[in-house]
Structure 1
Amino acid sequence: MTIPNLRLVLRGCTLAISASTILTITYGCARPQAAPSNDSGKKALIAVSVRKARIGALSRTVDISGSITALNDVMIGPRSAGKVVAVHVREGDRVQQGQIVAIMELTDYQTQVNAALAGLRTAQTRLAQAEAQESQAENLLKQARVNVEVLDTSTLAALEAARASVASADQALQAIKAGARPQERQQAEQQVRAARASRDKLKTDLGRIKDLYKEQAVSSSQLDQAEAAYEAADASYRAAQEALSLMLEGARSEDVKRAELAVEQARQGLRKAEADRSQVDVRRTDVANAQLALKSARDGVVVAFEGSRQAKATLDLARNALNDAQIRAPVSGVVAARLAEPGQQLGSGGQILRIVTPGTVDLEANLPESEYPAVKTGQTVDVTVEAFPDRVFKGRVSQIYPVASSAARSFTVRIVFNDNKDLRPEMYARARIVVGTHTNTTLVPKDAVIFSNQSNQAVVFVVSSDGVAQERKIRVGYMDAESVEILEGIKPGESVIVAGQSGLQTGDRVTISR
């Protein structure tokens, strides 16, 4: 395992090891002097222990620590200030999502609901009244339009008949005075036919208006006008007949008088028809007024509808506040803390309970800035906690926060577990992240390597087949508590000295102890 700035003391040497994956070090530790020779002048054999360099795999890890945190860890309380009436659960109790766990005082909220409900009913009554007024205004407008149409038709026909009657009476008078000519007789006959047609049309109109009057679709004054128009047309028809008759019989003094009287009566009928015609404009004014009244009624409906909508929104808010006074668990879990008691007055934002969900936990740990480039999401992690010292919880790196802490100069790493049912929030945990693995590489025991902090090099002693020790400079890679990766300097199968190399020099003869 490579650990940043870790100081190792091996074989009487002190070394600061960096976190880089490959380290080149040269042997430079001070060693004791070689053992003195025996009496015969030959050096004594030095007893050593050896191990074979081997092929294997070695991983580099990063150690971090942090706290177990619950994914669902919520504090619950009232939305508004008030007095706690009841708390139904205590620490350790299990709750289900939506369960009522506490109740705030409800009196004020119920009063607000009652007031809002009364306001809504009033607003709905106003809306109903406004809609009734709108319907009434629509009917009045429809009636006014029918009145205009009927009056326009009947008065126009009456006016035309009155004008024809005047013309016919004038012609009859002139004919009586002057005597009839063939052309005048033909003209008088045409006037009789025209007067009869006008009278028949007004008779038909009168029948239709009488039917409408029975259905209360027209007023009595309109019926009177229609009857007057018909009578005027009938009089015009009789006058035309009489004029034709006089023309055929010849003029007498009493005929002239009657003709003059007929002319005057026809002119009176024309004046009345003209007066009746002027009522059409009055009725058109009624239509315009009815249209304004309908617009006003529709505006009243819009205002009343908005008032009803606002009243309903107020009621919904009051009901929500009443419902919020019954505190419900937002998640299923276990009560971790009971923070308020019945009778306690809480302000806005006050807390009553803390609820956590066991089994849905992860680890949030601090990653040193120097190790940030090495750690990636998806890397495997071994986690230990003091509560279970003999267990290793497997996990992986799920997230690395993108911004470092300004105080600790570290990044937060989130680790998720494969099996976390025994872990609990706030447990202290240590994690070892595997950031790299070298396979099929040369490994030697860590006791075989002699490090020097003077020349930043490392050496090992190997034993030749004839029992002679030889110092080798090496370049190391990954290392852990037991093994060191050898990148250069040692081949698999060579025997390296793991004990007894203190004071050895190249060329010393050694004996291998078992």
Structure 2
Amino acid sequence: MRYIRPVVYCVMAALIGGSIYLLSARPAASSTGETGQARPTAYIESDTASASFKVGGRITELLVKEGDAVKKGQVLARLQSAEIEAKVAQAKAAVALAQGKVSEAKGAAATAEAKKAQGAAGVKATADASEQQIAQAKAAVDAAQAKVDALHSGARPEEKKQAEVQLNAAKEVFALADQNLKRMTAMLEQGLVSEADVDKVKISYQEAKTKYDLAQQQYDMVQQGPREEEVRGAESLLEQAKAAYELAVAGREQVQVRQGDVAAAQASLQQALGAVQSAQSGEQQAKAAQQEAETYLSYTELLAPSDGIVLSQSAQAGEMVGTGFPVFTLQKEDAHWAKFYMPEGAAAGLKPGDKVSLTLAATKEKVTGTVSAVAAAPDFAVKKATQSSGETDVRSFAVKVDLPALPPSALVGMTLQWEGKTEG
């Protein structure tokens, strides 16, 4: 028994050492083909994406399960949203109220604009009417003044001469008519003419007499000058015309009053426009608050970040989750790759873009890949240098190969064997 125990310890140490060697060499594991040349192997891998809520809360619905295929933007789960929905409704009510204030302010601005336009029109109409009244009153004053001046000055010499000429002409016509009437009367007594003929002459006589009397009156008036009551009447009319003129001039002050009304309307308009801007600012703020509330409401739905397969689920309905907690993990579609760990000699000459041939170990199907990156693996060297002269470490290089087209039988995690670089 004393000798058996050390032997057991040695065997266990050997097994442990062998296991450690195999584990450390696993990334660079290789298989041997018919030619006896080692071929590196790797596993089919895929990019993954975590689906998490942007806000914390209690999960109310889980709409997918592990293994389901999902599309980008598809709703995966929902959080309790009653409180946020209430905030959205409140924000919408605030927007409606703000829009009502905008409409009210615009109405007030339109009213102020109308008052301003009405006032401006009133100023123009008042100014035009005032100038017309002044012009008419001035003309009346001038006419009345001319009448008074004419009465005070009396008739002019030429007017007197004209009155005398008209009197003499009327006198001659009247004398001729008188002689003609006397002759016709004598002839009527003798039976030489009829009474009708005499009547005609009498009419001519009366007309001539009337014209003579008027000419005599006009002549006497010109010689004597205007009567006192006529002068007083003309002067009274002149005073009335002057008073009307002064009243028309005083009416100009109404233009200034109207201009003051226009200025007040302009101030009201500016105030109303300021109210419109303030209301519009309030509307924008309300809309921003609504948008923010609706954005938070949208955060209560968990959307798939990409097309893929649900690999795992980390929460259940009814659980509270925090912001950023990965509720689901998705395996992305069309994002498969494999990483081969190759010694320096095998990796030499490989560069991104090279086409390589691979074999699916489980089915022996051929797979074509594209080298996307070649980098030195910092974790280990496949061979350590000894004390022999000229020996060096042999390092391992990680060669990442994208797999754009896998056969239907290929699954994530299956083994691929390296065949080599292909032409083209």
Q: Does 1:396 align with 2:370?
A: yes
- 1:63 shift after superposition: 6.9
Matched residue SS, 1:149: helix
Structural RMSD (CA): 3.6
Aligned partners of 2:158 and 2:46: how far apart in 1?
118
Residues 252-287 of structure 1: CA distance to partner in whole angstroms, max 9, x if unpaired?
Answer: 222222222222212211221111112112212322
Q: Compared with structure 1, are the counterparts of its residues 417 and 147 closer, same or farther at alpha carbon in structure 2 (3 Å cutoff)?
A: closer
Matches of 1:183 and 1:375, distance apart in 2: 136
Aligned residue identity for 2:124: E
2:148 to 163, 173, 185: 173
SS at match of 1:165: helix
Which residue is 2:299 aligned to?
324
Q: 1:257 aligns to what?
A: 232
Given that 1:382 and 1:394 are in contact with CA atoms closer than 8 Å, whether structure 2 keeps it comes out as yes
> Which residue is equivalent to 1:299?
274
Change (3 A) 1:427 1:273: farther
Deviation string, structure 1 residues 457-477 (Cα, Å, up to 9, x no partner): xxxxxxxxxxxxxxxxxxxxx
Partner in structure 1 of residue 70 of structure 2: 95
The answer (yes or no) to whether the contact 1:103–1:327 under 8 Å persists in 2 is yes
Q: Report the CA distance between 1:96 and its aligned residue.
A: 4.0
Residue 371 of structure 1, CA deviation:
7.5
TM-score by length of 2: 0.63
Structure that is richer in helix per residue:
2
Task: Report the CA distance shift for 1:127/1:407 in structure 2 as closer, same or farther (over 3 A).
Answer: farther
Q: 1:339 aligns with which of 307, 311, 314?
A: 314
Q: Contact 1:97–1:331 at 8 Å: present in 2 too?
A: yes
2:252 alignment partner, SS class: helix
Is the Cα–Cα contact under 8 Å of residues 358 and 421 in structure 1 kept in the other structure? no
2-side partners of 1:291 and 1:97: how far apart?
58
Whether contact under 8 Å (2:357, 2:422) holds in the other structure is no
Partner secondary structure for residue 255 of structure 1: helix
Q: Structure 2 CA distance, aligned partners of 1:101 and 1:131?
A: 46
CA distance in 2, matches of 1:108, 1:256: 99
User: Aligned equivalents of 1:298 and 1:272: distance in 2?
Assistant: 40
Whether 1:413 and 2:400 are equivalent positions in the alignment is: yes
Q: Equivalent pairs: percent with the same residue? A: 26
Amino acid at match of 2:50: M
Change (3 A) 1:258 1:97: same
Matched, 1:156 2:126: no
Aligned AA (1:416): L
Letter in 2 for 1:423: A
Letter in 1 for 2:373: I
- 1:423 partnered with 2:410: yes
Deviations 1:173-209 (A, max 9, x none): 222212255999xxxxxxxxxxxxxxxxxxxxxxxxx
The offset of 1:121, in angstroms, is: 0.9
Which consecutive residues of structure 1, in runs of 5 or more, have no partner in the other structure?
A: 1-60, 185-245, 438-514
Alignment of 1:425-444 (within 5 A): 425=412, 429-434=416-421
Q: Distance in 2 between matches of 1:301 and 1:182?
A: 80
Cα distance in 2, alignment partners of residues 108 and 85 from structure 1? 14
Residue 81 of structure 1, aligned match among 56, 74, 77 = 56
How far the C-alpha of 1:367 sits from its partner, in A, is: 7.1
The yes-or-no answer on 1:136 pairing with 2:111 is yes
Structure 1 residues 338 and 146: alpha-carbon distance in aligned structure 2, compared to 1, 3 A threshold: same
Please point out which of 332, 349, 356 is paired with 2:324: 349
Distance 1:308 1:370, change over 3 A: farther
Aligned to 2:46: 70
What is aligned with 2:192? none
Give secondary structure in 2 for the equivalent of 1:92: coil
Cα separation, partners in 2 of 1:90 and 1:152, compared to 1, 3 Å: same
Task: Give the drift of 1:113.
Answer: 0.6
Distance in 1 separating the partners of 2:38 and 2:92? 65
Shift of 1:117: 0.9
Letter in 2 for 1:396: T
CA distance in 1, matches of 2:258, 2:279: 31
**Paired residue total:** 312
**Does residue 1:382 correspond to 2:370, yes or no?**
no
Q: What SS class does the counterpart of residue 352 from structure 1 fall into?
A: strand
Change (3 A) 1:250 1:75: farther
TM-score by length of 1: 0.53
CA distance in 1, matches of 2:222, 2:313: 121
Give the structure with the higher percent strand: 1
The change in CA–CA distance for 1:120 and 1:410 in structure 2 (over 3 A counts) is farther
Amino acid at match of 1:400: A
CA distance in 1, matches of 2:276, 2:306: 45
Q: Which has the larger Rg?
A: 2
Which residue identity lines up with residue 283 of structure 1 in the other structure? R
Q: How far apart are residue 341 of structure 1 and its match?
A: 1.4
SS in 2 for 1:419: coil
Cα–Cα, structure 1 residues 66 and 144, in superposed 2: closer, same or farther, change >3 Å?
farther
- Cα distance in 1 between the residues matched to 2:268 and 2:230: 57
Query: Residue 169 of structure 1 aligns to a residue in which SS?
Result: helix
Q: Which runs of 5+ in 2 are unaligned?
A: 1-36, 160-220, 381-395
Cα contact 1:65–1:430 (8 A) shared by 2: yes
The equivalences for 1:230-309 within 5 A come to: 250-309=225-284
